[in-house]
Structure 1
Amino acid sequence: MSLINTLKGFLIGIALVIPGLSGSIFAVVVGLYEKMMDAINHFKSNKKASIQFLLPIGIGAVIGIMASTKMILWVCVEYPIQSYLFFVGLVLGSFPLVFKKMKKIPFKPSYLIVSVISFLLILALTKMGEGGSESYIAIQSFDSWDDAFSMLFAGAFSMSLMSVPGVSGSIMLMVINQYGTVYNAVGQFVDLLFYLLKGDFVAASAAFGSVLLLVPFVIGSVVGIILIAKLMGYLLTKYESLVYYGVAGVMISALITLFETGVFPYWGATTATMNPILLVLMGITCLVIGVVCTIFLDSPSEEKEA
């Protein structure tokens, strides 16, 4: 059970890094979102159970973030169409779970208004983030308290909104121009570990300034998650099916974002160097693998064990 949740956390961690992907949607995809909100909301009254549940997910997410900062982003740059179609498959595979949640209340056409509003809202937020560069680094290292407050705000802003299903934390960081800063710091942290293992303390010292930026960012992130968890916990308790009508709209928006980010812009250049039929077959294969992964991770047996 813990190993499966660690793997699920790993996928959530990857989603936190890739622009356009939502860590909370992937928590929905792998059947953990409601349980995570519940564990956070009841942490004080049930610390042991909450820690036992959240710790494997947190470890997996940290590993996913550290791995994807360099490796996954490299794959997305080198093989954008294949990788983003895999992400599309992950989202598509979660629709049966969302529809199951929506069917808990009798359908009314007015409920679709929630889906439309959430679809348009997330699409608008995504468009806002298009101006933020993935490579622009606003703050290179921890040099002043202004830097600390900037990162504290970045953590609280991005992670509180990211806790709402469908909102991409990476896109929110782009909105405030801190995406490059945060993931440069994560990359420097990975480098720092390698430098220490090699005994290169000079290089490790040079990387440490950037790594320090993660401290206020993490503190802000924790505060943001705790604050929004209360709200989402209330909504899921009182209006669960309506929440998932909203999630459905968000997921459709996420699919559009994934195609606009990683498929359409690269199609012409990729087909110039690769047989289009082969590319289509590879893309379909990656998409199917993504769907299968979601179905496996959200199997009924895992739902019962969680």
Structure 2
Amino acid sequence: MSLINTLKGFLIGIALVIPGLSGSIFAVVVGLYEKMMDSINHFKTNKKASFQFLLPIGIGAAIGILASTKMILWVCVEYPIQSYLFFVGLVLGSFPLVLKKMKKIQFKPSYLIVSLVSFLLILALTKMGEGGSESYIAIQSFDSWDDAFSMLFAGVFSMSLMSVPGVSGSIMLMVINQYGTVYNAVGQFVDLLFYLLKGDFTAANAAFGSVLLLIPFILGSVIGVILIAKLMGYLLKKYESLVYYGVAGVMVSALITLFETGVFPYWSTETATINPLLLVVIGIICLVIGVACTLFLDSPSTDQDS
């Protein structure tokens, strides 16, 4: 099992939780996206190799989601500017990889139309899903088959779109008003584990109703990935550079979303208690750390370790 791929999966898992961040973009950033799509598309014909490659990524992503659902969202609430500038750094650090992919074909001004369309599309979807991490919890617990079908659809919808590089699964859940439902259920799963360890079976039983919602959601997510994997595999094989022109537009949109979500709204509040110059210095440090993390994870040495 590749420790590096597990770490990369961990970052992808964190990106899945944060509104505005894209797990698929981080898969691109750390050099895993194309390999993941290829492994999913050829799973039937090459089960062992595909499983060995996808397993550490899946484990890392699961750990990232469970570890970050409460912790990362808490950090974003308590230290929004610092945390979101770190995320900005992660995205900025991925531009060298995307530019490298774009340079595989000779530039034509018309290619920028792809970037512009993807930029506007993702920005529009993001605006539709505005509401923040405190979005309304539409379904509190698994009470009927209607709840199951709602969560199944949420999984298919969010994961199929999230598999497109740059699309934020969290934002897609906000669009259909299920972000709070899903991550409340994930948080309840973490609580359930603690309750079981403590022997508090009454509290564990109360949390279990929310946790059950994850079953149809995960099933829908798997269906969504399978549905989109072949399409993305085809596009990457036939039009790789054009796909990355689209990704570039999406990344610019993601940067705007991150600033609008976690930097601009909190600047006046934060500078009321912290010296503005000090806040700028701390923010730049967080941004640089984010860039460094991405560049390290996308280095040739880590790409070879799969």
- Relative to the length of structure 1, the TM-score reads 0.98
Taking the TM superposition and a 5 Å limit, the aligned residue runs for 1:131-150 are 131=131, 134-150=134-150
Give the distance between the partners of 1:27 and 1:164, measured in 2 at CA: 11
| Residue-by-residue CA offset, 1:131-179 (whole Å, 9 max, x unaligned) | 5763411101000000000000000000000000111000000011000
Cα distance in 2 for partners of 1:28, 1:287 equals 19
Q: Which residue of 2 aligns with 1:266?
A: 266
C-alpha distance in 1 between matches for 2:132 and 2:121: 18
Encode CA deviations 1:90-127: one digit per residue, 9 max, x unaligned. Answer: 00000000000000111111111100110000000000
Aligned counterpart, 2:215? 215
Q: Are 1:230 and 2:242 counterparts? A: no
Give distance in 2, aligned partners of 1:168 and 1:305.
27
- 1:112 and 2:112 correspond: yes
Q: Distance in 2 between matches of 1:91 and 1:258?
A: 10
Which secondary structure does the structure 2 equivalent of 1:166 belong to? coil
Query: Residue type matched to 1:64 in 2?
Result: G
Structure 1 CA distance, aligned partners of 2:176 and 2:159? 13
Q: What are the within-5 Å matches in structure 2 for residues 134-283 of structure 1? A: 134-283=134-283
CA distance in 2 between counterparts of 1:299 and 1:305 reads 10
Give the Cα separation in 2 of the matches to 1:89 and 1:133: 21
Alpha-carbon separation, structure 1, partners of 2:113 and 2:143: 47
Which consecutive unaligned segments of at least 5 residues does structure 1 have? none
Give the aligned CA root-mean-square deviation in angstroms: 1.0
- Asked whether the equivalents of residues 132 and 177 of structure 1 are also in contact (C-alpha less than 8 Å), the reply is no
Structure 2: give runs of 5+ residues left out of the alignment: none
Count the aligned residue pairs.
Answer: 306
For 2:8 and 2:55, the matched residues in 1 are separated by 12
Give the CA deviation at 1:74. 0.2
SS at match of 1:67: helix
Task: Report if the CA contact (8 A) 2:160-2:227 is conserved.
Answer: yes
Query: CA offset at residue 304 of structure 1?
Result: 2.8
For the Cα contact (< 8 Å) 1:133–1:177, is it kept in 2?
A: no
TM superposition score normalised by structure 2: 0.98
Q: Is the 1:89–1:290 Cα contact (8 Å) retained in structure 2?
A: yes
The answer on whether the counterparts of 1:134 and 1:174 sit within 8 Å (CA) in structure 2 is: no
1:90 is matched with which residue?
Answer: 90
SS in 2 for 1:273: coil
2:26 is matched with 26
- Partner SS state of residue 139, structure 2: coil
CA distance in 1, matches of 2:131, 2:4: 37
Q: Distance in 2 between matches of 1:252 and 1:81?
A: 18
Structure 1 distance, partners of 2:209, 2:221, is 20
AA in 1 matched with 2:197: L
3-state SS of 2:44 partner = coil
Structure 2 residue aligned with 1:292: 292
Q: What percent identity do the matched residue pairs reach?
A: 89
Match of 2:11 in 1: 11
Rounded to whole Å, the distance in 2 between the matches of 1:245 and 1:134 is: 33
Which letter maps to 1:103?
K
Secondary structure of 2:134's aligned partner: coil
Contact 1:101 1:241 in 2 (8 A): yes
> Is the 2:2–2:305 Cα contact (8 Å) retained in structure 1?
no
- In structure 1, C-alpha distance between the alignment counterparts of 2:115 and 2:301, rounded to whole Å: 29
Return the letter of the residue paired with 1:9. Answer: G
